[in-house]
Amino acid sequence: MKMKRIGMGFLSLALLRGPVWSADNSQLGSRQAMPLTQEGGTARAMAMGSAVVAVPMGSASLLWNPAGLGRCDDDCMELGLHHNSGLGNSTQETAVLGMPMGALGGFAASLNYMNNGTFDGRDSFGNQTGNYTAGDLGGSLGWGRQLFPGISAGVAGKYNRQTLAGTPYSATAADLGLLWNPVSRLDLGLTYSNLGTKVAGRLLDSGWRVGAAYGLNKNVLLAASSELKPGGFDRVQFGIEGFVHPLVALRAGYVHNFKDSKLEGLTGMTAGLGIRLAKNTMLDYAYLPYGELGSSQRLSLTFKFSCPEAEKEAQVKPQPKAEVKPEPVVEPKLAVLENMVVLEDTHFEFDSSTLTKEGKKIVIENTQVLRDNPKARIRIAGYASASGTVEYNQKLSERRAKAVKEMLIKEGGIAEARMTTIGYGKTRPAVFEPIPKDIDSKAAKANMRVLFEIIVE
């Protein structure tokens, strides 16, 4: 029983950690340095079998593919608190802070602490030699940015100090990542992890990860990934996430290790769920069974704050003012809104500012009121959904507004001086989008629009 407890202790070092330091968290006999030293994985990722190399995950992208930091869907700061427990007395706490910086991309930082408890020490003959402790402390800093439309890159630097039986080990390393969105709903990811220093004359446990993620429909995400080391492919992972309700997601995954570790439970299913507690707060849970070894449970709480929309609402909130007796004034002639035309997303080519045949028809049909009111002014405003980067959505909304203006000039003969255009990107949604990445939702379709107002004095 004591020998089993010793084995459980070493397994806790491996299985309770995420992918940041070691591509293989079950390779106990590795000849590479610090194969057991890893930061904790998030509950969402682990519930999906860790098959998230190609899944943008906000601030948590720092732990899996730093290129995902360049694909944040909003301008909010994000704080993630992640707790791992199970397999003996081991516990792990990880905090990740994400900070979008506009055109500079996205930055994130993490702190990680793990306590593996106290274990029975034995010599080669099985005699007890005393107790020992194990644990580690680490941190990382990463950056990601969209370099070209659909292509993001990122890099993360890491430091970790592990103590095992009173002996400290430390290392620094870097992760490199790429994320490519070749077509709608499909993402491809590539990372190289643990490019760094040697420890005790040995290289860090490093390798490549490749993956793909595909949005099957507006509620279901499929993901797959694999790990490649000098000896060949190490493992393959599959994951699925489905929103059964706008506020509830169910997740499952499967992990298959190609290398035989002689231990049962390291290949198998994972499961979990996510609950949106509030507009900017998400609670995730993961359960990872390891057969006779026991199980690991992971809990993540992610909170978004300092969102531009919330700050704008706070700025325009009316403040109490002292009552002042108004002086009589002559009321000016008010501007009267004569007409408002709404062009929906379906009136443009997909992800383009080109008007469809139906869209052109609607614009032309509304030019008569402009000709009947030569003094009328026209204001054309473009909007976008929450999916995509701030910069890209801003430019798309501006291009669509200008496309309507050019159509009014070319087909309607309307003077350019009478029209103004503006793009709001995704800063002024018509309705709230609970799932920003779902570009086919009713909320997303309602937000992707162009309005042109005809105002008569």
Percent of all residues in the chain with a pLDDT value above 70, rounded to a whole number: 80
Q: Do 347 and 424 sit in the same domain of this protein? A: yes
Q: Do 344 and 244 sit in the same domain of this protein? A: no
CATH of the domain at 355: 3.30.1330.60
Average pLDDT of span 255-279: 79
Q: For residue 232, what pLDDT is reported? A: 76
The answer as to whether 331 is a domain residue is no
Q: For residue 339, what pLDDT is reported? A: 64
Q: Which residue from 226, 227, 251 is spatially nearest to 241, judged by alpha carbons?
A: 251
The answer as to whether 245 is a domain residue is yes
Structure pTM?
Answer: 0.65
**Could you count the other beta carbons within 10 Å of the beta carbon of residue 317?**
7
Q: Do 395 and 297 sit in the same domain of this protein? A: no
Q: Do 253 and 150 sit in the same domain of this protein? A: yes
- Which single residue is written with the structure tokens 């593996």? 116
Q: What's the pLDDT tens digit per position in 108-162?
A: 999 999 887 777 777 777 777 777 777 889 999 999 999 988 899 999 999 988 8
d(CA 147, CA 105): 9
Give buried/exposed letters for 74-107 (b at 16+ CB in 10 A, else e). Answer: bbbbbebebebbbbbebbbebbbebbbeeeebbb
Q: For residue 385, what pLDDT is reported? A: 83
CATH of the domain at 111: 2.40.160.60
Q: Do 48 and 110 sit in the same domain of this protein? A: yes
Between β-strands 220-229 and 232-245, what pairing exists: parallel, antiparallel or unpaired? antiparallel
Question: Considering 295, 311, 327, which residue would you say is the last residue of a domain?
Answer: 311
Q: For residue 20, what pLDDT is reported? A: 36
The answer as to whether 90 is a domain residue is yes
Question: Considering 311, 344, 368, which residue would you say is the last residue of a domain?
Answer: 311
Confidence of residue 87 (pLDDT cuts 50, 70, 90): low
Whether the pLDDT of residue 164 is over 90: the answer is no
Q: Do 379 and 252 sit in the same domain of this protein? A: no
28: its two tokens: 């106990």
Domain that holds residue 119: 2-311
β-pair partners for 177:
154, 191
Structural domain count, the chain: 2
In which order are the strands placed within the sheet that holds 377-382?
336-344, 449-456, 377-382, 419-423
Average pLDDT of span 290-319: 70
Q: Do 197 and 272 sit in the same domain of this protein? A: yes
The answer as to whether 135 is a domain residue is yes
Q: Do 304 and 342 sit in the same domain of this protein? A: no
Q: For residue 61, what pLDDT is reported? A: 94
Question: Considering 276, 311, 346, which residue would you say is the last residue of a domain?
Answer: 311
Instruction: Choose the most confident range, by mean pLDDT, from 36-45, 53-62, 114-123, 282-291.
Output: 53-62
The answer as to whether 285 is a domain residue is yes
Instruction: Choose the most confident range, by mean pLDDT, from 212-216, 295-299, 312-316.
Output: 212-216
222: its two tokens: 């499929």
The answer as to whether 148 is a domain residue is yes
Q: Do 243 and 141 sit in the same domain of this protein? A: yes
Q: Do 252 and 107 sit in the same domain of this protein? A: yes
d(CA 416, CA 420): 8
Q: Which residue from 216, 204, 134, 149 is spatially nearest to 180, judged by alpha carbons?
A: 149
Q: Which residue from 236, 235, 266, 207 is spatially nearest to 28, judged by alpha carbons?
A: 266
Q: For residue 428, what pLDDT is reported? A: 83
Q: Do 270 and 370 sit in the same domain of this protein? A: no
Q: Do 378 and 272 sit in the same domain of this protein? A: no
**Mean confidence (pLDDT) of the chain:** 79
